[in-house]
Amino acid sequence: MDVAVVGGGAVGVTVAHDLADTADVTLYEAETLAAGASGRAAGICYDAFSDRRDAALGERALARFRELSGGGGFAFTDCPYVWLARAGDDRVAREIREGAERMREHGRAVTVLELEALAERFPRLPTGNVAVAAIAESAGYADPEAYTQTMGLLARTRGATIAEETPARLTSDGAVETADGRHEADAVVVAAGAHTRDIVAAVGALPVKPYRVQALVTDSVDLAPPMLFDATNGFYLRPHGDGVLVGDGTQPVEQDPDDWDPEADTEFREACIEYQEQALGWSWPETRSWAGLCTATPDGDPLVGELADGVYVATGWQGHGFMRAPAVAERLAAQVLGEDGPISGFEPSRFDGDEAFEIVEGMRVEGR
Ligand SMILES: Cc1cc2nc3c(=O)[nH]c(=O)nc-3n(C[C@H](O)[C@H](O)[C@H](O)COP(=O)(O)OP(=O)(O)OC[C@H]3O[C@@H](n4cnc5c(N)ncnc54)[C@H](O)[C@@H]3O)c2cc1C
């Protein structure tokens, strides 16, 4: 079987890797591996989803990250993930309790802690005005760029051809067109992040909108907090080297994937400082900040599966594509080989393709 993969992010390289033992795989990447969102992501990973399907995918992804970790250039660091509501935010506090209950019902290791127990477990986290916190015990973080490069290397080792600096698009008969000519593959997988909609436009419509999110890393910190999502304030943090990675800065406005600002806004950077001072009691200088594109769909679930005869897509991650890449790509590779069916609820054909919808931020208290 001859398979073309378009897009060398975390998803595309994993699909290429998983297919390479049984198929002739060529991956086309417009720039270099991890040039898109996978080179800009925070790398937070967990299985604490309130939906059973999402939780199972999260669990499988964590298993693959852990399996890959330690050899070569990739490391996965196990670290509990705390998400919390501040005093007075009764709605979010209730949602955290209810979401944690649903996660536990389908086997996730999630603990709910009130203020005192939280302070005891995480002495480095100022807990003064925390109303309630849930902790995903099976979680961790990794460098998404390192994952993508490592998987790309392994895919090559298994025989896949990776053509960088080779932009591709689909023709109306499902062939891949590059500057070098046409590639009529038996199957094509397009995992080109924010560009996916435009690349497949000749064969089908995809309801997906790119939007901007931002992050920064700080200088060395004395007391690193745990990995956390402050649902009341909308910020997330994770250890990053000697410092901390702080993220949010979501702009729920559709972006042109060929014309957007990759630098973080001054307002976002100032808001990060203010957040650290008010909510954590400290603030360290920023060493680097940036923006990247995430992709939104009408229902917040990704678009993964067969869009047209022999043409498969994987996009629309709502900011959760890295943590699900190893598991979703594995299922998609099996679907391409005819060994597995579509992931129920993710089918790209479940919409007409031209729906009007609002971009909704991906981080939510129920775990996605
Ligand atoms: C600041 C930030 C923080 C994030 N934090 C997290 C997090 O903590 N956890 C998490 O799970 N997710 C996070 N995400 C989301 C995550 O980055 C994405 O969901 C994930 O990386 C998507 O991977 P992908 O392979 O689908 O797409 P991408 O990584 O975007 O890869 C698509 C690739 O396709 C290539 N391409 C585009 N057009 C063409 C073309 N015409 N021909 C060939 N190639 C093409 C691009 O160059 C790119 O390399 C974050 C994102 C950002 C921006």
d(Cα 91, Cα 351) in Å, to the nearest integer? 31
Rounded to a whole number of angstroms, the distance between the first and last alpha carbons of the chain is 36
Mean pLDDT score, 346-353: 89
Is 362's pLDDT higher than 70? no
d(Cα 304, Cα 345) in Å, to the nearest integer? 9
Mean pLDDT score, 109-121: 92
How many angstroms is it from 252 CA to the middle of ligand 1? 17
- What pLDDT, on a 0 to 100 scale, did the predictor assign at position 285? 87
How many angstroms is it from 348 CA to the middle of ligand 1? 18
Mean pLDDT score, 141-166: 98
How many angstroms is it from 43 CA to the middle of ligand 1? 11
- 8 A C-beta contact, residue 149 and residue 8: no
How many angstroms is it from 70 CA to the middle of ligand 1? 23
322: closest CA among 70, 86, 14? 14
Answer whether 29 contacts ligand 1 (Cβ < 6 A): yes
- Count Cβ atoms below 10 Å from residue 274 Cβ, excluding itself: 12
Answer whether 44 contacts ligand 1 (Cβ < 6 A): yes
| Model confidence pLDDT, tens digit, residues 272-288 | 989 888 877 878 889 99
Domains of the chain, each with CATH number or no CATH? 2-71+143-208+298-350 (3.50.50.60), 81-136 (no CATH), 209-294 (3.30.9.10)
Is 245's pLDDT higher than 70? yes
Answer whether 320 contacts ligand 1 (Cβ < 6 A): yes
- Percentage of residues in the chain having pLDDT higher than 90: 83
- What pLDDT, on a 0 to 100 scale, did the predictor assign at position 368? 43
Query: 141: helix, coil or strand?
Result: strand
Q: What is the enclosing helix (H) or strand (E) of 357?
A: none
C-alpha radius of gyration, the chain, whole number? 20
Q: What is the enclosing helix (H) or strand (E) of 70?
A: none
- What pLDDT, on a 0 to 100 scale, did the predictor assign at position 294? 96
Whose C-alpha lies nearest to ligand 1, atom 52? 41
Which residue among 27, 29, 214 is best mutated to probe the pocket of ligand 1, counting the most ligand atoms within 8 A of its Cβ?
29
Answer whether 213 contacts ligand 1 (Cβ < 6 A): yes
Mean pLDDT score, 156-177: 98
| Model confidence pLDDT, tens digit, residues 55-99 | 999 999 999 999 999 977 899 999 999 999 999 999 999 999 999
d(Cα 101, Cα 50) in Å, to the nearest integer? 8
Is 123's pLDDT higher than 90? no
Answer whether 211 contacts ligand 1 (Cβ < 6 A): no
d(Cα 225, Cα 123) in Å, to the nearest integer? 9
247: closest CA among 284, 291, 280? 291
Contact partners, residue 265, CB within 8 Å, separation at least 6:
214, 249, 291
Is 265's pLDDT higher than 70? yes
Mean pLDDT score, 229-247: 92
How many angstroms is it from 284 CA to the middle of ligand 1? 28
d(Cα 187, Cα 305) in Å, to the nearest integer? 12
Confidence band of 225 (pLDDT split at 50, 70, 90): confident
Is 175's pLDDT higher than 50? yes
| Model confidence pLDDT, tens digit, residues 11-64 | 999 999 999 999 999 999 999 999 999 999 999 999 999 999 999 999 999 999
Taking the whole predicted model, whether its pTM rises above 0.85 is answered as yes
Whose C-alpha lies nearest to ligand 1, atom 4? 41
Answer whether 292 contacts ligand 1 (Cβ < 6 A): yes
| Model confidence pLDDT, tens digit, residues 295-341 | 999 999 999 999 999 999 999 999 999 999 999 999 999 999 999 99
Task: For residue 323, give the ligand 1 atom closest to its CA.
Answer: 11
Answer whether 167 contacts ligand 1 (Cβ < 6 A): yes
Mean pLDDT lowest among 201-205, 224-228, 342-346: 224-228
Confidence band of 365 (pLDDT split at 50, 70, 90): low
- 8 A C-beta contact, residue 162 and residue 15: no
Task: For residue 324, give the ligand 1 atom closest to its CA.
Answer: 11
Mean pLDDT score, 347-366: 76
Confidence band of 367 (pLDDT split at 50, 70, 90): very low
Instruction: Please report, for residues 135, 292, 364, the alpha-carbon distance to residue 295 in angstroms, rounded to integers and kept in the order given.
Output: 27, 10, 15
Is 221's pLDDT higher than 90? no
Instruction: Please report, for residues 21, 22, 95, 188, 308, the alpha-carbon distance to residue 337 in angstroms, rounded to integers and kept in the order given.
Output: 11, 9, 40, 12, 16
Answer whether 264 contacts ligand 1 (Cβ < 6 A): no
How many angstroms is it from 124 CA to the middle of ligand 1? 32
